[in-house]
Chains A and B, each alone.
Chain A
């Protein structure tokens, strides 16, 4: 007889039939019926209607039937909580059963029934089971505590189960210990600050003892828990390592990886001159190699982990290059990972072997793999200088195959090799030029154009080559267009006589016929450079480029450290920290490798620096700098364009470089050039490869002679209007700086509309027309909602008042200070720049009144770190008057409390970008000084909110 009949198709009244069978007197029949019910449940049929009938079968001494009923209960109890109570008595009774199997079964099942009402009945049985004489029951109960904690954490704490659980760590049975550790680890994750898993040398010792005895799965729990421990000194670290090392030869690869994690972390604490350190390094290699003999899926996971380990400690696997050679039957994802590791391990010692392999790979069938192999050859050349020559000749051989994608990849990497070893391998250029026609991918075309431009003086027909590209200029991708522009300018600077026509052609193509701001701006800059000072142009465009660094795709060191602490987990497969993909607070703790023991540290540190893979030779600027170097040179280097360009550190870099760059650019002629350089209003949209870095740079340039910088000094620190009160206009742009145009202005919020009121005065001798205005990106996305309405021409000595409505939907970029606004105004004479600061109250919206409950919850929810306190001095208003005044500026008082003569006002503000600001203002009668506490999820706005308070209250 088989069970497959349970899955036969539904007939009418099936539920009815089952009901009858469930209530049958015969045990066999009952069991068959419950099986049928569970079969239906599995395939997704709703059999919840049978709940009472199934529960009736629960009281039985047949264990098999009981298990089946419990299985059903776990599934449906949640949807039938009232009915589930019916089962409670049986559960409680079963927890007292003489048979330990039944006791454990009952406690396990009760924990899985996630119904609140049941949990209270669960406590007593659970308490007993935690102290049961049978380890099977105890280990089940230990897990049950975690289950209960998940449903009702408070209950678990109140009932003192956590202490009992801690005691179980010292249990005699290793299975119980392992489960207790697992349960505690999970509970501890939701209480990051509690000292639940109090790891001290004694408990560690107990864990290490249990490690040798428990099942492989228990070993994983214990090892993972050990990895969170920070040993007190290197001696303890070593002794733990010694006791963990035997796990490396376990057959279960999960155990091996968990052990590797512990060792990798604790090794960090060992002094490197210790013999044991070397021994440990040697012991780590074989188990990692063995992981590669598993099936492809496990291999892939292993390779992702090895990739991390190799970046952290390349010495472990430096002799094992051969195991990473690809096999023809590896799936492509395994091949690509192996290739990556091969390059990381490549060194002078093994480069010959690696190159021979790579050359073989380059003739395989899989296109993606071949491409990556060709790139790898280039990376080898850059990494191992001694091999560069052989790499180049290998690449040339590959180009001879004329396989289209191989040729293109090869050209891209040869460009990188040229950048690393300038003026060394130019002899190959002729061969490259032969393949010009077959290039159809933008990256390869751009690379080839770069080469032609860079070495224009050695290529006789460079102008012809570039001209041939120019024919289809508008069909090219931006990358190629930018590159072509730069290359032709380079060519012109090198051979000015023959190429004047060409350069004019490309400049006009770039500036007049193109819609792309990057291209247009670059075109303008070249144009003006060339027309004003060809010598400076030469210095800028043909400047010596910084060398590129060898490792472009290393994981950032802090991330790498965190990932090392998560070896063997999903994080190590994704190469992302767990916080990036695990929801909620669970597992978001950032883990760090412990620092090396104190006494050894000072002696060690120089060596540590050298061995770290992130350390680049000092002559080489790391890749981010490389990008900026390019910016200066206005060259687009394809491999580095993908570097994310929004990190603050980078912007800093950009400022410096550009500051210097503009400085030298402007020099003596800053008057003309400073005005000219912003010829296009969209200048702020960015130059070249780092569009977001550029505007920040503009803002950050220190005053340079009479250049751009001066313009920014003007707007600062003026009292601003609010609500109905508008501060008098202040001078934003003096006539001296703007060829006679003077602008003063202020901001106002009227009926929910933000307005910028300006007075334009013509102090020059000629009529001004064609006014237009544009804002740079700013912190809150302020942008003109319409054009600047100056309808009549502005004659000399005339003043006109305009009011410009603003929207908050423009592009956003954080400014310093936060309320800074950079403005460009254009007229028929020129474009002028100034910056001003708007009061934050401009952005306080009318519906900023928060519900009381929401306020309370939010106040609690925002961490105390985000709270800022301020003193507002010399205010002679009572709290009600102050509250009214503030309301006019959309600062709403939600509640007021009076405690001992002190009025506490609770206020809320909402910004246009939906940021909520909560405030508590304390007003003491008779004391002119108010105390203001501001809480906001974005704490940087607090300072500016305080300024608004002060301004509103004082006016």
Chain B
């Protein structure tokens, strides 16, 4: 059972404080802040204890969202709840920041009152909540098409600003009652996270994909939406694959509002989207990739002169030629004694630097078209170089994003609203794949 909930700014200012059970004092806020700021990097930060008081917190939007308890509740429940609370705050206030929380404190108190009673979580669904909430949200900034700082897919930063009307995605879902502000829009995003380990011999050792389908809905009235996925989608490990390039996932989980009566035969998800953001489906695929991994690396590491290591990296992007990978960055750990580095890169928009703190070199490529191949040569000076320190080079890790791509091949065939909306409703479907952990061993 939750005893208190509070929201703190990154500097420790009290933004919201609510006590549900009267069993702890307000001092616990300061106790928490001291503990969380004193935490070192290798300690698990989730659950902290002070005497018989337990704090569970998440960080979202640069704020601490904290619940305290004196009993033995489920940390999952509380972490999920805090994440929902942050998401709801974002839905209601448009964005998540110290400013927006400060401006809407009355609204957040009201939300908390309805969401938690005596420490028992009651509901987090916008459909239910909208019946109770009286306070109107105050928006932190006027909408401006020129405001590019806020460009991004919700929940996933990307450079797709040209494609998606991102500004719209960060406005409050609950526009003033009675008047219809904004358009009737619905966004459906397919987001995948890819983790791959490629062995030193170039063989794919491990590949996992975690994906989710998220919707953000601005439709004022709740109508049923049908999301059609690839018909040939297979679920589970045991199913036989046909000759066609079937799309397969190991396991999937659904939001409880999703109706699955047409899923088994037609792969159609039926959902009445609540206003706001929600994840309708999560899925994963282990140990198998339908396409080749997006990047192949051909490294060579040599000892040059007495105190110099030559690292030659050839990187090939195996995406289809029309696609492009964005924000590719490659990190190569170098021997601990490294002092300086010189590099030869193939184009001026790339950068590379030696990061003295983490003892790694970082090579960044803003755009990397499919089918292309780039190479780079790094000369690292290491005083007192021994042959053992060559072993310290590697493994290489990469991060990137692949817009308009899904690695499982999962697609959304159609998006139908029924009954058909009278007003113009815009439907957006977006795909993106992010690297989660992409490691290439040397």
Contacts and interface: CB of A to CB of B under 8 A. Distances in A.
19 contacts: A3-B105, A35-B106, A42-B105, A64-B135, A108-B117, A143-B117, A215-B123, A249-B252, A251-B254, A251-B282, A253-B80, A254-B80, A293-B284, A327-B439, A330-B437, A400-B388, A566-B72, A573-B46, A582-B52
Contacts of B106: 3, 35, 38, 68
A388 to B, nearest CB: 24
B395 A328 contact: yes
A443 to B, nearest CB: 20
A873 interface: no
A42 B359 contact: no
A365 B74 contact: no
B102 A3 contact: yes
Contacts of B439: 327-328
A570 B397 contact: no
B73 interface: yes
B72 A327 contact: no
B124 interface: yes
B77 A254 contact: yes
Contacts of A328: 395, 397, 437, 439
Contacts of B143: none
Interface stretch (B15-23, B295-303, B417-425): B15-23
Given A333-B42, A570-B69, 19 more contacts: A3-B103, A38-B109, A42-B14, A101-B132, A108-B117, A215-B128, A217-B123, A217-B124, A251-B282, A298-B79, A323-B208, A327-B195, A331-B42, A363-B391, A566-B72, A568-B75, A568-B76, A570-B47, A586-B71
B79 A44 contact: no
A257 B80 CA distance: 12
A721 to B, nearest CB: 47
Interface string A362-373: 010100100000
A691 interface: no
A581 B49 contact: yes
Nearest to A35: B106
B120 interface: yes
B122 interface: yes
Interface in B265-312: 279, 282, 284, 286-287
Interface in A527-571: 566, 568-571
Given A325-B197, A328-B395, A365-B333, A583 B70 contact: yes
A578 B135 CA distance: 40
B303 to A, nearest CB: 16
A427 to B, nearest CB: 23
Interface in A93-151: 101, 108, 111-112, 114, 139-140, 143-144, 146-147, 150
Contact of B73 (A114, A368, A569): A569
Given A35-B106, A582-B70, A582-B71, A289 B41 contact: no
Contact of B41 (A114, A332, A581): A332
Contacts of A402: 388
A293 to B, nearest CB: 4
B44 to A, nearest CB: 4
B259 to A, nearest CB: 13
A605 interface: no
Contact of B120 (A221, A286, A325, A581): A221
Contacts of A301: 46-47, 75-76, 79
B26 interface: yes
Interface string B179-210: 00000000000000101010000000010101
Contact of B109 (A4, A71, A182): A71
A573 B193 CA distance: 27
A220 B77 contact: yes
Contacts of B279: 251
Given A7-B102, A140-B117, A401 B123 contact: no
A1 interface: yes
B109 A251 contact: no
Contacts of B121: 217, 220
Contacts of B16: 42
A400 B128 CA distance: 65
B199 to A, nearest CB: 8
A67 B74 contact: no
B379 interface: no
Interface in A158-184: 175, 179, 182-183
Nearest to B282: A251
Interface in B21-67: 21-22, 26, 41-47, 49, 52, 54, 58
Contacts of A330: 437
B391 A573 contact: no
B206 A322 contact: yes
Main secondary structure of the interface of A (DSSP, over half): helix
Nearest to B140: A2
B433 interface: no
A43 B388 CA distance: 57
A9 B230 CA distance: 58
B99 A582 contact: no
B256 A403 contact: no
B68 to A, nearest CB: 12
B354 to A, nearest CB: 15
Contact of B72 (A101, A332, A569): A569
Contacts of A146: 118
A254 B2 CA distance: 15
A905 B348 CA distance: 99
Contacts of A300: 44, 46
B76 A216 contact: no
B436 interface: yes
A861 interface: no
Nearest to B57: A297
A140 B113 CA distance: 11
B261 interface: no
A257 B74 contact: yes
Contacts of B109: 38, 71
B293 to A, nearest CB: 15
Contacts of B231: none
B150 interface: no
Contact of A38 (B14, B26, B105, B124): B105
Nearest to A247: B256
Contacts of A289: 251, 284, 286
B138 A329 contact: no
Contacts of B69: 570
B157 interface: no
Given A63-B134, A217-B122, A573-B47, A401 B388 contact: yes
A44 B208 CA distance: 48
Given A328-B437, A569-B73, A3 B206 contact: no
B42 A332 contact: yes
A641 B433 CA distance: 50
State the 3 A-B residue pairs at the shortest beta-carbon distance, nearest first.
A327-B437, A254-B76, A254-B77
Given A220-B74, A569-B72, A323 B388 contact: no
Contacts of A586: 71
B241 interface: no
A363 B122 CA distance: 49
A587 interface: yes
A360 interface: yes
A4 B279 CA distance: 32
Contacts of A64: 134-135
A243 interface: no
A193 B181 CA distance: 58
A71 B21 CA distance: 14
A365 B128 CA distance: 50
Interface string B91-112: 0000000010011111001100
Contact of A67 (B17, B110, B388): B110
A627 to B, nearest CB: 30
Contacts of B73: 569-570
A258 interface: yes
A298 B47 CA distance: 10
A359 to B, nearest CB: 10
Given A63-B134, A71-B109, A582-B71, A286 B359 contact: no
